[in-house]
Structure 1
Amino acid sequence: MKYAVIDVETTGLDPQQNRVIDIGIVLLDANFAQESFFTSLVNPQMPVTATDIHRICDADVTSAPAFTWLIPQVVQLLDQRIIVAHNAPFDLRFLNAESARSGQPLNLERHHAVCTMDQSRIYCPEGSHSLGALASRLGIETPVLHRALPDALICAELFRHYVNAESQGELFAQHAINRHGDVVYPCEWERARPWHARSHS
């Protein structure tokens, strides 16, 4: 299997009302080594909000492409890969909402993804499950937080940590409960199914 580690920054939390303004994708090969990456600011075609979090302002995205222009490249990058994201349902919902608005729905489903936030409850000691907090506990460098590509790179490092911890039998739990009340089990990457461009219609 190959993997596409994704992060999006947005104008808010509701994918029906808010928009993506920054996207980062890191491609990993079957051995979890980085192959390449892609990043772009996105013109949300609405005022930028949540600037205190991501530090992106209206002027930054004025000349950026709208999401509809990025979809062909996103499709090419995700094709035949398992998606990895921190709080994966959030990223999937926004990508689905943006692509649906553009008339080119990606149809990304939860079984296409590994959630590094959920898996942290298995492979990391107790504490905050935020990306920055986990990186700090594991000694992963975080030069910038809440920008898409840096966060995707951190997420890729978390993913590698989990894979290595599993191979060493270094689990903190055999199962856990996530923030939504769902049961989390180890090795989600072994159960996830790659997304295929042919499902994009």
Structure 2
Amino acid sequence: MYAVIDVETTGLFNKDRIVEIAIAQLDRDGRATATWETLVNPQRDLGPQELHGIRAADVRKAPTFDQVAGDVVELLRDRVPVAHNLAFDGRLLSHEFLRIGCEIPDLGHFGVCTMQWADYFLPDAGRSLADCCSAAGIANERPHEAMSDVLATTELLALYLNSMGQVPLWDQRAAGLSEARWPLIPAQATAPVHRGIGAADGGAFLARLVDHLPRIPDPPQADMYLALLDRALVDRHISATEADSLVALASGLGIGRDAAIRLHRGYLHSLATVALEDGFVSSAERDDLDRVAALLSLPAVEVDAALRAAEDGSAPTLPQAEFRLRRGDIAVLTGAFAESKSFWADRLRAAGLTVAPNVTKKTALVVAADPDSMSGKASKARQYGIPVVGADTLDAVLARR
């Protein structure tokens, strides 16, 4: 009978993209008979992440909208669409279908908007889903998660249905359902991707390398791997995207887990040598070495070994100097920050950097709202071999200037 919909998006406008969609199929009495949800890869920046809470580490592995479009049609076909603010969800959904050359029916023409009907059933409540749920005594434990909002809207619809006779007040309007013409897109039963799938990515990348490979990397191969590793460790954090790049490069160069551990150990030893250049290792330098060791899956005792090797002059040196920013270097901002972009631009300028609007080969650093950002600027930076760091780890980069 009904299909309750909710979408989380990169913004409010037609140009914005869906990043999560959830649908619950209900019977005539408003009881859920099936649910479906997935993240959607918008192939761009995720917009206000502080609002919807979706991480690029999760979304980058999600299907694109064209891959789930057929599944969405199958779930909505011959059902009365329901949403809290149906005009918004229907508009964003319609524009996603237009991007793949398809047109869907106007959901508002025969659907039910629980926000509009709240004026009738909950006259003293506000219009937001949170206000309506509060007035109706409905718990929405994870607002702005698509399925949580769908289930809350489902309860709201059930309350409306139980507050009137057997024939719903919108029954005549819903009769237009028979005129709806949905595009003929085959359902692909695409595997859904949920929030949290990227949680284990990042520093655990070493476990994804092959145990043994038939050859040991020669110096040029080792240098390529160490150069990428150095860029990844600029902010003392290995993002999911950086982990994937390291795994892919190691595989392509024939670097297995044992060889990678040897390279990691040499990298740590060279950092210890730099820390001891003044004859003293501060607590901050020791903390930094401990953090790098942990990111490289090396036990804490390796730091002591690295410092001993640095003291007796037996530690190796890096094939290139460790990445450090210099005064006047160019930095670029990308993404929707919790604070304003001007706040972060001022931070960068105060550190002696030049802030530019676009990424070029002269750019030294890209600071993103999300280190796994899929924005055009972040993608171009990775193509040029420019470090992309998250705003929350920027201090770690600036501290080593």
Q: What TM-score results when the alignment is normalised by the length of structure 1?
A: 0.84
Report if the CA contact (8 A) 2:105-2:180 is conserved: no
**Amino acid of the structure 2 residue aligned with 1:194:** L
Q: CA deviation at 1:188?
A: 2.5
Match of 2:23 in 1: 25
Q: 1:118 to 1:134 in 2, by over 3 A?
A: same
Counterparts of 1:73-84 in structure 2, within 5 Å, are 73-84=71-82
Q: CA deviation at 1:103?
A: 1.6
Q: Alignment partner for residue 53 of structure 1, among 33, 51, 54?
A: 51
Counterparts of 1:4-19 in structure 2, within 5 Å, are 4-15=3-14, 17-19=15-17
Judge which range, 61-70 or 189-198, deviates more: 189-198
- Mapped to 1, the partners of 2:109 and 2:100 lie a distance apart of 23
Q: 1:64 to 1:197 in 2, by over 3 A?
A: farther
Q: 1:149 to 1:195 in 2, by over 3 A?
A: farther
- Mapped to 1, the partners of 2:105 and 2:98 lie a distance apart of 9
Report if the CA contact (8 A) 1:19-1:94 is conserved: yes
> Secondary structure of the equivalent of 2:131?
helix
Report if the CA contact (8 A) 1:117-1:129 is conserved: yes
Report if the CA contact (8 A) 2:77-2:182 is conserved: no
RMSD over aligned Cα atoms? 1.8
Q: 1:195 to 1:109 in 2, by over 3 A?
A: farther
Q: Name whichever structure is richer in helix by fraction.
A: 2
Match of 1:188 in 2: 170
Judge which range, 29-38 or 99-108, deviates more: 99-108
**Amino acid of the structure 1 residue aligned with 2:61:** S
> Secondary structure of the equivalent of 2:105?
coil
**Amino acid of the structure 2 residue aligned with 1:9:** E
Match of 1:146 in 2: 144
> Secondary structure of the equivalent of 1:191?
helix
Q: 1:128 to 1:197 in 2, by over 3 A?
A: closer
- Mapped to 2, the partners of 1:191 and 1:110 lie a distance apart of 10
Match of 1:41 in 2: 39
Counterparts of 1:93-172 in structure 2, within 5 Å, are 93-167=91-165
Q: CA deviation at 1:166?
A: 1.7
> Secondary structure of the equivalent of 2:130?
helix
Q: 1:196 to 1:4 in 2, by over 3 A?
A: farther
Report if the CA contact (8 A) 1:42-1:67 is conserved: yes
1:136-159 per-position Cα deviation (integer Å, ceiling 9, x unaligned): 111111110011111011001111
Report if the CA contact (8 A) 1:79-1:196 is conserved: no
- Mapped to 1, the partners of 2:142 and 2:133 lie a distance apart of 12
Judge which range, 129-138 or 104-113, deviates more: 104-113
Report if the CA contact (8 A) 2:103-2:182 is conserved: no
Q: 1:126 to 1:145 in 2, by over 3 A?
A: same
TM superposition outliers: structure 1 runs of 4+ over 4 Å:
195-198
**Amino acid of the structure 2 residue aligned with 1:7:** D
Q: 1:189 to 1:146 in 2, by over 3 A?
A: farther
Q: CA deviation at 1:26?
A: 0.5
> Secondary structure of the equivalent of 2:124?
coil
Report if the CA contact (8 A) 2:104-2:181 is conserved: no
Report if the CA contact (8 A) 2:40-2:62 is conserved: yes
Match of 1:199 in 2: 182
Aligned residues: 182
> Secondary structure of the equivalent of 1:60?
helix
- Mapped to 2, the partners of 1:187 and 1:139 lie a distance apart of 23
Report if the CA contact (8 A) 1:78-1:196 is conserved: no
Report if the CA contact (8 A) 1:85-1:155 is conserved: yes
- Structure number, greater radius of gyration: 2
**Amino acid of the structure 1 residue aligned with 2:85:** N
- Structure scoring higher RCO (CA < 8 A, sep ≥ 6) equals 1
Structure 1, unmatched stretches of 5+, are 169-185
